[in-house]
Every structure is written in C-alpha cells, then in structure tokens.
C-alpha cells in the first residue's frame, strides 16, 4: 500500500438520475466509508511497524551456555561475543564464544589457569582483542584479582595478572570502562559486602599498575555511592546511569534507594585543570573511608605529581528518561546512541527499552542528550535484571540471561538499524516547533470534524476531504490519536483488513514511514 496517490473512486450507479451512493441509507456508501476509515488506521500502524525495531529470539547452533545471570558478555574486535562466568544458582567460570556470522555458540577450553568461579565481575575487551576480568564474588568471598584472556593464532589463553600499585578493595557490582584511547581501565563503585562504594580506580593495561583516584574538595558534585549501575566509554572517559544503594536513615535500618541520574566521567591531565578551583584535601570516597560523602566533582591520581585527574559532571537530558533502575544493561550502537534495557527497582523487574541520543542544545534547553522510550514489535524478553546486552557492528543488540527471582531463559536480538536517526531528528524538530504544532493540530481538528459530519450525513465529498487532510498532517502524531481505535479491533480482524486493503485497487493511502517512539 502507499505506492500510488490518495484515491477513492467509488463506482457510480445511477437511480432516478442520481448517483446511488448518495442516496440516504445506501449500504455501498456506508461500507466504503467504513472501509476507508479503517484503512487509514491500517496504514498508520502497518507503516509505523515497518519503522520499528523487532525483538526476535535467536536461533543458533553449537553448544549453548546454560541460563545464568550476573555474567559478562563483550564484543571482540573480530565480531564475536565472549561470555564468561555468572550465577547458575552456583557460580561458574566457563567461557563461551558466539559467532555472529555463523550464528553458532562454542564452549572454549582456553589454555592456562582460568579465573576462579565468580559472578558480579566485569570483563572488558581491549582494542587488541584481550579480555580483562576484574573482581566479582565466588559465593563466599569478594574478589579484586585481575585476569587476562588473550586470543593469538586461534588459541585462547588465560593468565593471572600480578597487578601493581594500589588495587581497589574486593567487590562486585562495579563497572569497568576503557578510557584514554583504550590504554586505561576505569573501575567505578560496587559493593564490598559492607557498603556501596563511590571510589574510582584506574588500571594501566600495559604495565597493569593500579592508581587510586583520591577526591579533592571542588566545585560541583559527584555520584552517590552505588552498585549495580551501568557504564559505557564516552569521549575518553565514561557515561554512567542508575544503580542501587542502601542509605542510612534515622532508625539505622537503612533505606533502599535506586538511582536514575546520568553522569559523565572525564579524564584530564593535571595541567588541564584549573588549580584555583581545587583545594588539596584527601577524601577517598566510601571505597576507602566509609563516610559515604559525595558532593565533590574532581579527583586526582594518588601517584606523585597527580598526573591523572577525574572530573564528574551531571548530564542533563530531555525527553522520556528511564525510571530509577539497578541491574540494567547499556549498549552503544555505531551511530553513537546508547540503548538501555531492563532493570529492577521497588520490587518490580522491567523490560522497557530506552535510547539516549545526542542532540543540539537550543533555546529551550542546554541539554545535549535526549531520552526516548522505544516500543519494538515482536515478543519482548520478559522483565529481568542482571542480564547482558552487547551491540554488534551490524546494528543488532544481543541480549542473554538475567534474573527475575529465577534464572531467565532465552537469547534475543533487536535490529536497531531500522530506527532512523535522521527521521527521528526531523520529527523532534517538528514537535518542538510551536507554529507547526498549532497548524497540524488545527488541521487535525478540521479533518476529524469533516470525517465525523461526512459519515453521519453520508456526504462522500466531506469524507474524502477529511481523509485527504488527515493524510497530509503529521503521521507520527496521527498514530498517537488513532492507536486506541486500531487496537480495539481483534488481531484477526486487523490482519483481514490489511489483506483486503492490499488487494483493493481503489483505495490507496501514502503515509510516510516514521520511527515510532
């Protein structure tokens, strides 16, 4: 549908010199009028569905990993997913590889001594193909060890890394992101068995030397202590969202707190900092002193000279932001958009999908990011947390595992390439334009009035005018009005209507494809 212009050409049969379709109570007119109105709904939603991403369960060959949660999955430079560890009601240290091209799982027996069984750890793949595993929990003890998985000449090999310097305390639920041109691994937050943490450590990926970033009194603020947050590399630093913490209350019992704040961590050399804005004062964060104090924004390296410094910035984003969450997953696609799925808060597991996109600041807001809630078609994964989600180079998001008081099953993919960034930007621009909103709104009111009056009085000219005017208004906003009407029809009736409309050469409605938020 939509390959021709808007056409409605009923066959004119004359009775007593008058077209029979204009006679009061004529069934042909009523049938064609109803069919035309319903086909508007069909076109709106069949067109929008084509522009929406679709959830699909992945059909794969090979040796599948068992369902698990609190595991890690990372994309290698060669385009394979490396999955390690996790909780299957007992911790595990098995290693699996998923080949995206062949759609095949393989269980890998790597050379060397593998890390101890664990979950809640991090595993980060470097640009040269190494995977760095840090920390976690083995069921009895929290860990802070470092392991390296290399892949040379088709062979995987493990080695335990004797890290130097000031290592972070043993923990799980932390994040690890690459920074400084993939030369540094940043560890943020986590849980050490006693409290949530807010400290920052860096690991040099060549010398494997740890640096603890002490906080200095500064203008601004920093994230509260937390665990089960999510982070991604961004502009040489990191982007962090959400998390969970227990905050002491007056009774001393502690309150559960979930976060929905968005933070950016920037790494700077000491000469780039304005020394007049900082004072020398050691506040090491809850990872070291247990005070839980935050409200500072600049950290510096504990090494001599303080060559490496960190700046925290709260990121403002417009749009429909996600609710407070923990145990959610973030993945960045090749267009620079950040996708968020799932999570847990206040006793409820989630399976919502959000996307964070860059935007240009305008007169209304200085925000440089925009959140959007995305409703894909297809059967979505069940609500869950502690799953993994990685982005492939082909635009697919791959989701595995998770927890919803049981271990969740299934391996899912979502094709994000169908969500057009250019079209989304154009829609956002029109929505923000007040004059266009007024004109479109007025046109819709007039069109609906014409349709209502034309159908009730059986005047096809008014109906055709209303249909044409509706077709010329903004299709995205039209869908939001007509969606409840369309969804009232049973699925079988909707399918039959779409098939009927496709074969009816007299009815054509070209509505432009728009991404559906």
Instruction: Provide CB contacts within 8 A for 288, sequence distance 6+.
Output: 169, 199, 212
Tokens of 286: 């809850």
Instruction: Determine phi and psi for 306, rounding to 5 degrees.
Output: 55, 50
Eight-class DSSP state of 417:
G
CA distances from 287 to 119, 140, 196, 365 (A): 20, 20, 8, 35
Q: What is the mean pLDDT of the chain?
A: 77
pLDDT, one tens digit per residue, over 467-508 is: 877 777 655 455 555 555 555 555 555 555 545 444 433 333
User: Do 72 and 55 form a contact (C-beta atoms < 8 A)?
Assistant: no
pLDDT tens column, 66-104: 999 999 999 999 899 999 999 999 999 999 999 999 999
Question: Tell me, what's the pLDDT at 403?
Answer: 96
What is the spatial distance between Cα 36 and Cα 1, in angstroms, rounded to a whole number? 13
Q: How high is the pLDDT of residue 397?
A: 95
Kindly state the helix (H) or strand (E) to which residue 30 belongs, with its residue range: helix 27-50
Can you give 224-284 as a three-state secondary structure string? Answer: CCEECCEEEEECCEEEEEEEEEEECCCCCCCEEEEEEEEEEEEEEEHHHCCHHHEEEEEEC
pTM score: 0.69
Please give the angle made by the CA atoms of 256, 262 and 264, to the nearest 5 degrees: 130
pLDDT reported for residue 283? 25
Buried b vs exposed e over 366-382: b needs ≥16 C-beta within 10 Å? ebebbbbebebeeebbe
Contact 486, 41 (CB under 8 A): yes
Whether the pLDDT of residue 448 is over 70: the answer is yes
Q: What is the pLDDT of residues 12-61, one digit of tens each?
A: 344 444 444 444 445 555 555 555 554 454 444 443 444 578 899 999 99
Virtual torsion, Cα 242, 244, 246, 250, nearest 10 deg: 30
Contact 438, 419 (CB under 8 A): no
- Show me where the domains of the chain are located: 7-51+426-508
pLDDT at 62: 95
pLDDT bucket at 310, cuts 50 / 70 / 90: confident
Return the higher-pLDDT residue of 363 and 144: 144
Report the percent of the chain where pLDDT is more than 70: 67
3-state secondary structure of 145: strand
Q: If 0-12 CB within 10 Å is exposed, 13-18 middle and 19+ buried, where does residue 251 land?
A: exposed
Given a cut of 50, is residue 286 above it in pLDDT? no
CA atoms of 486 and 6, how far apart (whole Å): 20
Q: What is the pLDDT of residues 196-208, one digit of tens each?
A: 999 999 999 999 9
Enumerate residues 6+ apart whose C-beta is below 8 A from 123. 72, 73, 74, 82, 84, 85, 131, 132, 133, 134, 176
Range scoring the smallest mean pLDDT among 24-28, 118-122, 292-296: 292-296
- Residue ranges of the alpha helices (H) in 412-459? 421-432, 434-457
Q: What is the C-alpha separation between 355 and 337, in angstroms, rounded?
A: 7
Q: Please report the beta strands in 59-128, taking only residues with DSSP state E, as ranges in sequence order.
A: 61-62, 72-75, 80-87, 91-99, 104-108, 122-125
What pLDDT does residue 438 have?
Answer: 66
Confirm if 189 and 227 have CB atoms less than 8 A apart: yes
**324-358 residue pLDDT tens:** 999 999 999 888 899 999 999 999 999 999 999 98
Q: What is the pLDDT of residue 53?
A: 84
| Strand pairing category for 14-15 and 18-19 | antiparallel
Range picked from 52-61, 267-276, 441-450 for highest mean pLDDT: 52-61
């Amino acid at each position: 549908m939509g390959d021709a212009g808007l056409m409605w050409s009923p066959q004119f049969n004359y009775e007593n010199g008058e077209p029979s379709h204009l006679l009061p109570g004529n069934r042909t007119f009523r049938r064609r009028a109803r069919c035309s109105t319903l086909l508007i709904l069909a076109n709106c939603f069949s067109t929008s569905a084509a522009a929406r991403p679709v959830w699909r369960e992945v059909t794969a060959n090979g040796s599948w990993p068992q369902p698990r949660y609190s595991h890690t999955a990372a994309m290698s430079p060669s385009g394979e997913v490396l999955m390690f560890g996790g909780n299957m009601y007992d911790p595990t240290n098995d290693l699996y590889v998923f080949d995206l091209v062949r759609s095949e799982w393989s269980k890998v027996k790597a050379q060397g001594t593998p890390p101890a069984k664990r979950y809640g750890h991090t595993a980060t793949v470097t640009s040269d193909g190494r995977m760095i595993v840090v920390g976690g929990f083995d069921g009895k003890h929290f860990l802070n060890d470092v392991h390296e998985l290399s892949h040379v000449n088709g062979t995987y090999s493990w080695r335990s890394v004797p890290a130097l310097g000031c290592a972070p305390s043993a923990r799980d639920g932390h994040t690890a992101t690459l920074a400084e041109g993939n030369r540094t691994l940043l560890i943020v937050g986590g849980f050490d068995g006693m409290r949530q943490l807010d400290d920052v450590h860096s690991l040099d990926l060549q010398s494997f030397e740890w640096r603890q970033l002490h906080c200095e009194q500064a203008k601004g603020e920093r994230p509260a202590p937390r665990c089960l947050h999510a982070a991604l590399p961004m502009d040489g630093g990191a982007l962090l969202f959400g998390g969970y913490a227990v905050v002491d209350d007056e009774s001393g019992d502690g309150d559960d707190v979930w976060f929905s704040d968005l933070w950016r961590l920037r790494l700077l050399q000491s000469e780039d900092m304005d020394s007049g804005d900082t004072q020398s004062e050691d506040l090491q964060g809850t990872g070291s002193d247990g005070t839980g104090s935050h409200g500072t924004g600049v950290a510096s390296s504990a090494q001599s000279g303080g060559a490496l410094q960190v700046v925290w910035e709260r990121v403002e984003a417009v749009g429909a932001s996600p609710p407070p969450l923990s145990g959610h997953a973030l993945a960045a696609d090749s267009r620079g958009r950040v996708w968020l799925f799932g999570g847990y808060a206040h006793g409820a597991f989630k399976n919502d999908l959000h996307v964070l996109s860059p935007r240009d600041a305008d007169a209304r807001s200085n925000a440089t990011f925009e959140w959007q809630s995305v409703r894909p078609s297809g059967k979505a994964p069940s609500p869950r947390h502690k799953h993994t989600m990685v982005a492939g180079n082909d635009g697919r998001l791959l989701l595995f595992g998770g927890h919803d008081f049981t271990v969740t099953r299934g391996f899912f993919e979502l094709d994000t390439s169908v969500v057009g960034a250019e079209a989304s930007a154009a829609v956002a621009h029109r929505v923000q334009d007040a004059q266009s909103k007024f004109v479109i709104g007025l046109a819709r009111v007039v069109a609906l009035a014409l349709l209502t009056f034309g159908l009730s009085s059986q005047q096809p000219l008014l109906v055709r005018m209303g249909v044409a005017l509706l077709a010329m208004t903004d299709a995205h906003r039209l869908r939001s009005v007509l969606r409840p009407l369309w969804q009232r029809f049973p699925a079988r009736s909707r399918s039959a209507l779409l098939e009927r409309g496709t074969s009816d050469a007299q009815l054509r409605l070209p509505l432009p494809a728009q991404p559906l938020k």
